[in-house]
Amino acid sequence: MSKIISGFSKFTKEEKIDWLTKNYFHNQTETVNIIKQYWNIDTDLQELHDDFIENTISNFYMPYGVAPNFVINDREYVIPMVVEESSVVAAASLVAKFWSTRGGFKTKVLGTTKIGQVHFMFAGDKKDLETYFNQNKTELYAATASITKNMEKRGGGILAINLVDKTDKLANYYQLHITFETKDSMGANFINSCLEAIAKKFENETIEIVMSILSNFVPECLVRAEVSCKIDELGGENPQKFAEKFYQAVKIAEIEPYRAVTHNKGIMNGIDAVVLATGNDFRAIEAGAHAFASRSGQYTSLSHCSIDNGIFKFWIEIPLALGTVGGLTALHPMAKLSLEMLQKPSARTLMQITAAAGLAQNFAALRALTTKGIQHGHMKMHLQNILNQFEANESEKEIITAYFDKRTVSHSAVVEKLNSLRKPIINWVNFLDENIVRTHLSKLNIASEPNFGSMNAQQMIEHVSAVTQIANGNWVVNTFVSDEKTARRKPFLNTDAELQTGFKASFLAEEPNELKFNSIEEAIDDLADQVALFVKVFTEDDKRTVVHPFFGELDFGDWQKFQVKHFTHHFKQFGLL
């Protein structure tokens, strides 16, 4: 049956979920519960979120954290960050505190120009096109007057409109390259509206408009963030060596694209987190940043380092077309909260804050890479994710966190440690304590059902008694156990391991033995007598050894270890422990 559907967008949210779960999920009830679990209980707030995009069925939560201790241009900040990757917020916070005592971050906006383009085809004489453009340029500005009016009041608007010849790249291809200033707005809708108005005015019978759209490559909407100090102030055992390795790491990212991509991804860990928290478009920022890193024709590092004249300097220049008004920044309650946390910055200030977050994240990553290695700190943070994945309780988290304080964290090591904590504590039976044995066995009756095996309760008691008789010398089992087998099997008696369910010694019959006594009570009395005799015979001859049919020759101590395991095994068989 086809799962192609028409009119899906017209369904109610409940109808969308119903269709989706029936067609794509096996456990519909569980799926619906998960989807609705993430709905906001405030219906008005949920409706607000529903209207952000189309076909909304739920919310996808991301952690919202804060990185304190940032000092940027001598002003203190707590920076909000939305990110799913562990260690990002912690790393940014640690680096912020580190640089807060070394002058903090110094930032500067180098430009705020944004770009839009009208792409069109023209097959005629280029001089005719240039004449037409120059004659109508004023009219192109006028075509956007109603759109740019309010923006111009805030000091923004269209800065320039230029005709660009691209026919050397594509036959008949030209563009109107238009620069904008959008002040505190991201400006996407503003720019696109202007472009469409200009395109409509510019188009004629010889000019074919292909498309009109802003560009996310904004190399002139640029911000710089920098930290610096004397090399001796970097701290550590050998600050000079650290500075040199750090410098080399940055230089490698400048010349090696494979490294540069990962290097810049670390920068974007910090930048994207702030962009998301403030309701800006992180995809546009990502695209523009990576294009900027490739502007020379080779992909390279966005950050740079120098260690001249005893001074360590680390900086970044990156295009960040951000806004603090309009769009999601005005709709999303958490975005508005983020901007208030940042002391209601202008777009220019937000650019500087965001660049500082990216530089902090990059410094943290490079410091880790050139000292302890990136996994040391990252896996320490990831430890909590692993523990949450396996639903560790607070006690388990405390024990395991302390355990890995000076150990290397890995997924398998954490799971192994967690499993060791969760390993059932075995309530070993002290078979030499007659009161304990009688108290447990008195709970049994002829109708007691075993958890495993085919023996009934009395047969089990008589079986344990019979095996004790082997040690006492009252039951001689003609079984040979080679020295090689004894050497291999006997160490088991010194472990915390239990006898496995289903274990059956070769000397035992397939079916349980016929009952020897008239009642369970008589069987218990006999077992007590056999245990007393067990102690007596070994006490009288402290050098006594008796061959166990499976483990081989055992002394008193080894027989005791076996008896503890054997009693515990059969007591568990009937749920007595």
In a domain, 251, yes or no: yes
Residues 258 and 272 in one domain: yes
Q: Can you give the CATH number for the domain in which 490 is found? A: 1.20.120
281: annotated active-site residue: yes
In a domain, 197, yes or no: yes
In a domain, 58, yes or no: no
Q: Can you give the CATH number for the domain in which 118 is found? A: 3.30.70.420
The CA distance from 479 to 463, in Å, is 18
The CA distance from 395 to 400, in Å, is 9
pLDDT exceeds cutoff 80 at 150: yes
Residue at which a domain ends, from 160, 189, 215: 215
265: annotated active-site residue: yes
State residue 329's pLDDT score. 84
Q: Are 49 and 59 spatial neighbours (Cβ–Cβ below 8 Å)? A: yes
In a domain, 23, yes or no: yes
Render pLDDT for 302-327 as a digit per residue (tens, 0 to 9): 999 999 999 999 999 999 999 999 88
In a domain, 405, yes or no: yes
The CA distance from 130 to 176, in Å, is 11
Render pLDDT for 57-107 as a digit per residue (tens, 0 to 9): 999 999 999 999 999 999 999 999 999 998 899 999 999 999 999 999 999
The CA distance from 470 to 537, in Å, is 12
Which tokens go with 91? 């790393």
The CA distance from 99 to 356, in Å, is 11
Helix (H, G, I), strand (E, B) or coil at 211: strand
**119 — pLDDT class (breaks 50, 70, 90):** very high
CA distances from 59 to 28, 36, 56, 276, 381 (A): 18, 9, 8, 15, 26
Residues 301 and 394 in one domain: no
Number of domains in the chain: 5
Q: Which residue among 137, 177, 265, 440 is the active-site one?
A: 265
Render pLDDT for 181-234 as a digit per residue (tens, 0 to 9): 999 998 999 999 999 999 999 999 999 999 999 999 999 999 999 999 999 999
Residue 76's H or E segment, with its range, is strand 75-82
Residues 532 and 551 in one domain: yes
List the domain range (segments joined by +) for residue 405: 380-421
Share of the chain above pLDDT 90, in %: 79
571: CB partners within 8 A, 6+ apart: 429, 440, 577
In a domain, 93, yes or no: yes
Q: Which residue among 18, 85, 256, 396 is the active-site one?
A: 85
pLDDT exceeds cutoff 60 at 377: no
Render pLDDT for 504-534 as a digit per residue (tens, 0 to 9): 666 666 778 889 999 999 999 999 999 999 9
The CA distance from 506 to 402, in Å, is 47
State residue 380's pLDDT score. 62
Which tokens go with 518? 């008239």
Q: Which residue among 16, 183, 378, 548 is the active-site one?
A: 378
Query: Which comes out higher in pLDDT, residue 328 or 76?
Result: 76
The residue-averaged pLDDT of 284-296 equals 97
Residues 384 and 438 in one domain: no
Residues 475 and 510 in one domain: yes
State residue 334's pLDDT score. 95
| DSSP symbols for 495-509 | SSPPPPTT---TTS-
Residues 399 and 543 in one domain: no
Residues 203 and 273 in one domain: no
CB-side neighbour CA atoms (13 Å) of 126: 11
Give the helix ranges, DSSP H, for 25-87.
28-37, 43-50
**379 — pLDDT class (breaks 50, 70, 90):** low
Q: Can you give the CATH number for the domain in which 330 is found? A: 3.90.770.10
pLDDT exceeds cutoff 80 at 145: yes
State residue 476's pLDDT score. 80
| DSSP symbols for 239-275 | HHHHHHHHHHHHHHHHH-HHHHHHHHHHHHHHHHHHH
pLDDT exceeds cutoff 80 at 118: yes
Render pLDDT for 228-245 as a digit per residue (tens, 0 to 9): 999 999 988 899 999 999
pLDDT exceeds cutoff 60 at 11: yes
How many helices (DSSP H) and strands (DSSP E) are in the chain? 20, 12
The three-state DSSP-derived secondary structure of 394-428 is HHHHHHHHHHCCCCCCCHHHHHHHHHHHHCCCCCC
In a domain, 567, yes or no: yes
Helix (H, G, I), strand (E, B) or coil at 159: strand
**494 — pLDDT class (breaks 50, 70, 90):** very high
Share of the chain above pLDDT 70, in %: 97
CB-side neighbour CA atoms (13 Å) of 464: 31
State residue 507's pLDDT score. 63
Residues 225 and 210 in one domain: no
CA distances from 148 to 160, 247, 472 (A): 13, 46, 104
Residues 177 and 314 in one domain: no
Residues 227 and 319 in one domain: yes
The CA distance from 156 to 174, in Å, is 26
Q: Which residue among 181, 196, 281, 558 is the active-site one?
A: 281
pLDDT exceeds cutoff 80 at 471: yes
Q: What is the DSSP letter of 8?
A: G
Q: What is the residue-averaged pLDDT of the chain?
A: 93
pLDDT exceeds cutoff 80 at 289: yes
Render pLDDT for 261-286 as a digit per residue (tens, 0 to 9): 999 999 999 999 999 999 999 999 99
| DSSP symbols for 268-329 | HHHHHHHHHHTT--HHHHHHHHHHHHTTTSS---SEEEEEETTEEEEEEEEE----SBSGGG
CA distances from 368 to 70, 95, 355, 563 (A): 20, 11, 20, 54
In a domain, 270, yes or no: yes
State residue 417's pLDDT score. 86
The residue-averaged pLDDT of 475-484 equals 82
Residues 187 and 85 in one domain: no
CB-side neighbour CA atoms (13 Å) of 180: 33
Determine the distance from the C-alpha atom of residue 25 to the mean position of all C-alpha atoms in its chain, rounded to a whole number.
25
The residue-averaged pLDDT of 39-65 equals 94
Residues 403 and 487 in one domain: no
Residue at which a domain ends, from 359, 389, 421: 421
233: CB partners within 8 A, 6+ apart: 102, 239
